[in-house]
């Protein structure tokens, strides 16, 4: 394993930044020493590797859309060094057997580090409680891609019976409200998706989950919160944390006009008022972290005659950091806030050992960024197998130029230059 010293760059933490050299050896950040290969980072920022706790890398079962090699390549292109993959595969990851099968197929094939969720379907608590090494348990409160939705007594049973040393992560939409809205909104285009899976559907279920978390005094995490009202509610409950996806911050219902079904995801795009409210919550600290909900589908699946037949989901892991570097350049956030939201907070909140900081003894997961690099992102740039992005056609300023995973240089200046060195993460 090579030993590197990143020289002349500005090392950024959540609290500040300083010009100093950063030494990497044996997969860790280490003290200064001799025999290190020098890499010039003059004029660049050096950040902890980005952590995306919410991705759908589609394998097993969806390899036509994405596989672990293409998805993890997309991740490190974007400076993401750790991902956590959801369980709605085919077969779904609901048992120890399927979990081990998934582990085996990923091993040696990922450029990024990874954690794995197991799913809950109301009938597999024994399997969950016996599973080892899982990052978390995913609970779908409404049917989305994968058809693993649970409700009623099954929902409360998750709070009561699933072992307490693992976190519960929720897709929070109320299926009953969604079904009612389907009968109300029958004529129109894809913009009806936001009316059917309405603000009220999201808020109703989030309220139930917050109340259950308080009742059982159990920490939970609400995924891809999409409305201002949800964030305001969650902020009142000490047991509940949340994430926001980039697409709910930089896209809105106004974008259906040019995106069409390429802008269809669950929960859906919201109006400008909600987008403004979510940004306010991110800046105030009411939102703990950013996660992409990377969920690619092929163009031929999206381009269908009836918008209802188009699958929900958009790719995003590659563009998480560039979007937020552009926000920093526009003075919307500080780079320290980005480090907190996208690296330090997820590592600390979910007990990711060795992640989220660039201090001696921590894992050498590092991204070097050029804040002055400016270019248009195009569909032909997309590394995901799906080959398109809802963010294409926009000019972004601030891009990753190098990514190190476990101390190995895997990405540099638009090319993969290293091996698939990603490992399954340890959580505590």
Catalytic residues: 293
DSSP 341: I
Question: In what side-by-side order are the strands of the sheet with 408-412?
Answer: 17-19, 10-12, 45-48, 366-377, 394-405, 408-412, 415-416
Q: How many CB atoms lie within 10 A of CB 182?
A: 14
Which residue in 140, 135, 137, 142 sits closest to 162, CA to CA?
A: 137
Burial (0-12, 13-18, 19+ Cβ within 10 Å), 150: buried
Distance CA 312, CA 296 (A): 9
Contacts of 174 (CB under 8 A, 6+ apart): 141, 142, 200, 201, 202, 204, 205, 208
**Pairing, β 136-140 against β 168-171:** parallel
With b for 16 or more beta-carbon neighbours within 10 A and e for fewer, the 378-412 pattern comes to eeeebbbbbebbbbeeeebbbbbbbbbbbbbbbbb
Is the peptide bond prior to 283 cis by the omega test (within 30 degrees of 0)? no
């Amino acid at each position: 394993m090579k030993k590197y010293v990143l020289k002349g760059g500005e090392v950024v933490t959540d609290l500040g930044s300083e010009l100093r050299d950063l030494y990497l050896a044996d997969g860790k950040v280490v003290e200064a020493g001799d025999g290190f290969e020098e890499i010039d980072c003059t004029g660049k920022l050096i950040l902890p590797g980005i952590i995306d706790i919410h991705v759908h890398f589609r394998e097993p079962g969806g390899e036509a859309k994405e596989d672990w090699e293409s998805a993890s390549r997309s991740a490190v292109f974007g400076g993401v060094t750790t991902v956590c993959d959801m369980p709605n595969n085919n077969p779904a990851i609901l048992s120890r057997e399927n979990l081990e099968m998934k582990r085996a197929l990923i091993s040696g094939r990922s450029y990024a580090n990874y954690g794995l969720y197991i799913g809950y379907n109301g009938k597999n608590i024994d399997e969950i409680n016996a599973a080892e090494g899982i990052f978390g348990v995913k609970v779908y409160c409404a049917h989305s891609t994968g058809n693993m939705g649970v409700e009623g007594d099954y929902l409360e049973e998750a709070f009561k019976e699933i072992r307490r040393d693992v976190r519960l992560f929720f897709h929070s939409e109320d299926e009953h409200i969604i079904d009612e809205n389907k009968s109300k909104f029958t004529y129109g285009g894809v913009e009806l998706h936001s009316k059917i899976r309405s603000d009220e559907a999201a808020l109703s279920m989030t309220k139930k989950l917050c109340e259950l978390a308080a009742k059982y005094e159990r920490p939970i995490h609400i995924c891809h919160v999409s409305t201002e009202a949800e964030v305001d509610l969650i902020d009142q409950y000490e047991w509940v944390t949340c994430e926001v996806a980039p697409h709910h911050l930089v896209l809105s219902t106004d974008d259906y006009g040019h995106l069409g079904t390429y802008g269809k995801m669950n929960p859906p795009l919201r109006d400008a008022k909600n987008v403004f409210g979510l940004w306010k919550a991110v800046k105030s600290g009411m939102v703990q972290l950013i996660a992409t909900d990377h969920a690619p589908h092929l163009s031929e699946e999206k381009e269908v005659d009836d918008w209802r037949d188009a699958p929900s989901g958009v790719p995003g892991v590659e563009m998480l950091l560039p979007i937020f570097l552009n926000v920093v350049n526009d003075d919307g956030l500080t780079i320290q806030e980005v480090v907190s939201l996208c690296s330090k907070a997820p590592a600390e909140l979910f007990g990711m050992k060795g992640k989220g900081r660039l201090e001696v003894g921590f894992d050498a997961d590092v991204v070097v960024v050029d804040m002055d690099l400016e270019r248009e992102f195009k569909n032909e740039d997309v590394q995901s197998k799906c080959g398109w992005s809802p963010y294409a056609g926009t000019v972004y300023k601030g891009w990753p130029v190098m990514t190190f995973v476990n101390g190995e240089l895997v990405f540099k200046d638009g090319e993969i230059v290293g091996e698939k060195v990603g490992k399954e993460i340890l959580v505590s």
